[in-house]
Structure 1
Amino acid sequence: MLAMMKTFFRNIHLYLSLASGLVIALVCFTGGVLVFEKELEQAWHPERYFVTASSQQRLPLEQLVQAVKAEIPQAKVTGVKVYADPLRTVEVSLAGSAPMGERKSEGQRPKQPEKGGKPGAKGEQRGGEGGRGPQYFVNPYTGAVVGKLNYRDSFFFTMMALHRGMVGGAAGKLIVGVSTLFFLFIIGTGIVLWWPATRKVVKQRLTIKWGASWKRLNHDLHLVLGFYSSLFLFVFAFTGLAWSFEWFNKGIYTVTGSEMKNPEPPKSQVLPGGKAIGLDAAYAAARSQAGDAAFFAIQLPKDSAESIRVNLLRPNAAHETAGDELYLDQYSGQVLGKLAFEDRNLGQRVRRTFRPIHVGSIFGTPSKIIALIVCFLGTTFPVTGVIIWLNRLKKAKKKRNTVLTAQ
């Protein structure tokens, strides 16, 4: 009976791996590349993100925006992001993009890409990751525009599009999602197959015999490293489902008994002939509410009734997406409301935690290093697994030939 169960799980493990192995390897590889995206981007283009120490006063935000408009007269600025770090540049977002502190809202479904085109931005907060417009980086002391980033044209956008299957449109996204579901079953059946029958075998299943033959070494690399990385891979795959399936997102809110829809932001009090406040006034109002924030991402209103929305991250935030939102009247600068991360419902807090868990940033650099190693190990398992399968096929064929010869 036990042997039959092992065979059953081995078949599930094998056939699901053969069906999705290439996709899993690609997703793991691109996921590993994206783990240190921010750090690599800043290392490759430090002039965009950092300035030298200066004794000069910071220039008004309006002046920095005008510097961008001087280069692009038709530019429509949608927001700016200001860091507390005096050595960081100010980031200016143009039409079609979101202030860089924002992420896709929980429960919102991104628009599928046009056939043969790139993903759209519908359903995301003014762009989200795939829909960012041009971003300009300005020296806050000199007003010089020191860099530009169009995320869609970047190396990391290509990696992200491959990672999520967006290069294949709706079909590609579905393939990645189904392969991720398969991966969860592959990991589960792999643990069952790894589980030792006796205590004597435990040490063998936990250590790699480096001096063994290449077949044994390949076998150990698959089983031993697979066991050590299985929990992390399961967590990464499970959280990844949130970017593939709407039903999974809805399930988060159903399980937590929470509303999926975000609270409606308060509106500005429209005044006849009223003049909107500037970015500097909005920034001053935000700083008066949370002067110790790591950054302020100010999003300008789209119409005459919207409020100015400011995303900010407090120093004691649980993780990078545990930010607060501040709403300001666009005419008076009065604070209309504040939505702290802890004031969101359970479903929204859980959903916002998925990203830092998925990318390995939940505990900072140590968890990122673990994520990087585990992702690249995940790339090898389809290869070592296929080699094990081929060796078994070869062994079974040799055994059959031996039996036939004996007859």
Structure 2
Amino acid sequence: MKILFRNLHLYLSLASGLVIAIVCFTGGVLVFEKELDQAWHPARFFVTPPATQQRLPLAQLVQAVQATDPKAKIGGVKVYADPTRTVEISLAGGPGSPGGKPEGGREGKAAGGKSRAEQGGAGHGPQGEKGKTDKGKGGGEGGRGPVFYLNPYTGAVLDKLNYRDTFFFTMMALHRGMVGGPVGKLVVGVSTLLFLFIIGTGLVLWWPATRKAVRQRMTMKWDASFKRLNHDLHVVLGFYSALFLFVFAFTGLAWSFEWFNNGIFAVTNSDPKGPEAPKSTLVLSGGQLTFDQAYIVARRQVPGALSYAIAWPKDSTEAVRVNTTSANAAYEGATDELYLDQYTGRPLGRLNFEDRNLGQRVRRTFKPMHTGAIFGTPSKIVAVVVCLLGVTFPVTGVIMWLSRLRKSKKKQLKPAAVAV
């Protein structure tokens, strides 16, 4: 039986090892995407607040963006409570963007994905929970328009970013296989499925036959020969990282296969759409709500939030959506949503994270679990280390395989030499 598992482990690894190594490497790079982006481009994200000057009205910041392109359609504005953070203003793009048609054609959000309020103003990182991308006019991933970063005290436009033009988009595209289009995405998805079987068969092969062998298979022997060291790097470190790699691979399937996403909601007996968002009451006289008015109402309704992402309605009946991040949110993505009448500013309702159905809550845990952000910086560090180990396992595994082949050939040649 063990020979069967060894063969499965070997040939599945040979078939998918290169893809797995690339996915692990790019995944490790993306774990600290936000932190690296802010470290490399601090002027894009941070300003020095003046001692006396107050923040400018959002309308003035919107005008500064529109001055760069009079035809630009504002899709969303994101304001942080942190006085040192810039204000992010995103333009409406294609499907899945603020102000555009929602990804997957659903009202307000993709199944288990992020609403347009969450996407609005988000300047970095893959935002769509379903992992779909579209080469929209805006140039952003998922068809999002470009994002402008403004100094909230002076109104100066500090930067304009198209996510597709960034290093991290390239890493994300490699990670998801999109560089090869639908075929590349399928290859990554199938390789991820195979990786789950590789991890399972690897644990079966690791399982020691005796108690004495347990310590040997859980301890690295750093002063051993190259062959033994390579063996320990593959077997011992493989054991310690197996659970983490399994979680990363399992959650990664949600970005590769629609059936996997559907399965989450089927298993949890939940509706992917969730409750229908309330509608605005059309007012014939008077104008629409402004971003400033929406921000004031949102702060009154949800005081103390870390950020307010305001997404403008795409038609005359939709509500203004304000996505808020609580200071005590359980993890990244555990956000709340406030709905405002686009004409009167009257609060129409609120959908807190804990009020979402089980399927949506489970689905939203996938991204922080996949990226290692579920427990903050400590779990991110673990994720990076495990991803780097994941890059090495195909290499150490091939070395072990070649060593066995050489050993087998020597055994075959030895009887032949004796016969002569």
What is the TM-score when the length of structure 1 is the normalising length? Answer: 0.93
Q: Note if 1:234 corresponds to 2:234.
A: no
1:86-105 map, 5 Å: 86-96=83-93, 97-98=97-98, 105=110
CA shift for structure 1 position 78:
0.6
What's the counterpart of residue 189 of structure 1? 201
* Deviation of 1:225 (Å): 0.6
**1: distance between equivalents of 2:334 and 2:224?**
48
| Distance (whole Å) between structure 1 residues aligned to residue 418 and residue 6 of structure 2 | 30
Give the drift of 1:378.
0.2
Measure, in 2, the Cα distance between the counterparts of 1:403 and 1:159: 52
From 15, 21, 41, the equivalent of 1:45 is 41
Task: Identify the residue that residue 191 of structure 2 maps to in structure 1.
Answer: 179
Contact in 1 for aligned 2:186/2:256 (Cα 8 Å) = yes
CA distance in 1, matches of 2:213, 2:140: 49
Structure 2 CA distance, aligned partners of 1:111 and 1:385? 31
Q: How many residues align?
A: 393
Question: Residue 54 in 1 paired to residue 50 in 2?
Answer: yes
How many angstroms apart in 1 are the aligned matches of 2:390 and 2:198?
A: 12
AA matched with 1:198: T
Asked if residue 352 in structure 1 is aligned to residue 349 in structure 2, the reply is no
1:126-165 → structure 2 map (5 Å cutoff): 129-165=141-177
Q: Deviations over 1:268-297 (max 9, x none)?
A: 101124410110000001111111111000
Aligned to 1:264: 276
Rounded to whole Å, the distance in 1 between the matches of 2:253 and 2:139 is: 21
User: Please, which moves more after superposition, 35-44 or 210-219?
Assistant: 210-219
Q: What CA distance in whole angstroms lies between the structure 2 residues aligned with 1:139 and 1:250?
A: 42
- Show the counterpart of 1:343: 355
Match of 2:17 in 1: 21
Query: What are the within-5 Å matches in structure 2 for residues 298-317 of structure 1?
Result: 298-317=310-329
**Aligned residue number for residue 339 of structure 2:** 327
- How far did 1:107 drift? 4.5
How far does residue 121 in structure 1 lie from its aligned partner after superposition?
Answer: 6.6
Distance 1:70 1:150 in 2: 18
Distance (Å, rounded) in 1 between the aligned partners of 2:132 and 2:214 = 47
Residue 116 of structure 1 corresponds to none
Q: Flag structure 1 segments of 5+ consecutive residues without an equivalent.
A: 114-118
Measured at CA, do residues 98 and 70 of structure 1 come closer, stay the same or move farther in structure 2, by a change above 3 Å? same
Is the CA contact 1:111–1:121 (under 8 Å) kept in the aligned structure 2?
Answer: no
Q: Is the 8 A contact 1:107 1:250 kept in 2?
A: no
Equivalence map 1:109-128=2 (5 Å): 119-120=134-135
Alpha-carbon RMSD across the aligned residues, in angstroms, is 2.0
Counterpart position of 2:60: 63
Q: Which runs of 5+ in 2 are unaligned?
A: 104-108, 114-128
* Alignment match of 1:281 (pick from 293, 314, 330): 293
Give TM-score scaled by structure 2 length: 0.90
**Percent identity among equivalent residues?**
69
The amino acid that maps onto 2:145 is G
Three-state SS of the structure 1 residue aligned to 2:155 is coil
CA shift digits 1:201-240 (9 cap, x unpaired): 1111111111111111111100011001000000000000
Describe the superposition over 1:28-82 as per-residue Cα deviations: whole angstroms up to 9, x where unpaired.
0000000000000000000010001322111000001111111222211111000
Corresponding letter in the other structure for 2:111: E
- AA aligned opposite 1:67: A
